[in-house]
Amino acid sequence: MKNPAEVDFRRKWHAMAAVGAGVFLATVDGSIINVSLPTLVRSLDTEFAVVQWVVLGYLLTIITSMLSIGRVADIVGKKSIYQFCGIGRGHDTDAFLS
């Protein structure tokens, strides 16, 4: 481990930007799904409460997968898992809305 006097703290802003981008994308993902609720109600010819359960299941799946993905990131490497999950999240949202 490096001595704290030898660590380059300018790189911390890169990590902060990556985490901020992930939080922003998660917020956009939730917003897209919530905006699509009326369309889903019409296209599935069902009630709003039923569609809300579908969205809840989608969000619970994302949240519960974080535990196992965190462990895999400890083994494989946090950077590669973060990049893989960022790409996968966009494909999941596209699949849900199509």
Q: Give the chain's radius of gyration (CA, Å).
A: 18
Residue 95's pLDDT band, with cuts at 50, 70 and 90, is low
Q: Is 71 helix (H, G, I), strand (E, B) or coil?
A: helix
Instruction: Convert the pLDDT of each residue in 22-79 to its tens digit.
Output: 778 778 877 888 888 888 899 989 899 888 887 888 778 877 777 777 777 788 887 7
Question: For residue 98, is pLDDT > 80?
Answer: no
Distance CA 20, CA 73 (A): 18
Q: Is 7 helix (H, G, I), strand (E, B) or coil?
A: coil
Q: Are 22 and 82 in contact (CB under 8 A)?
A: yes
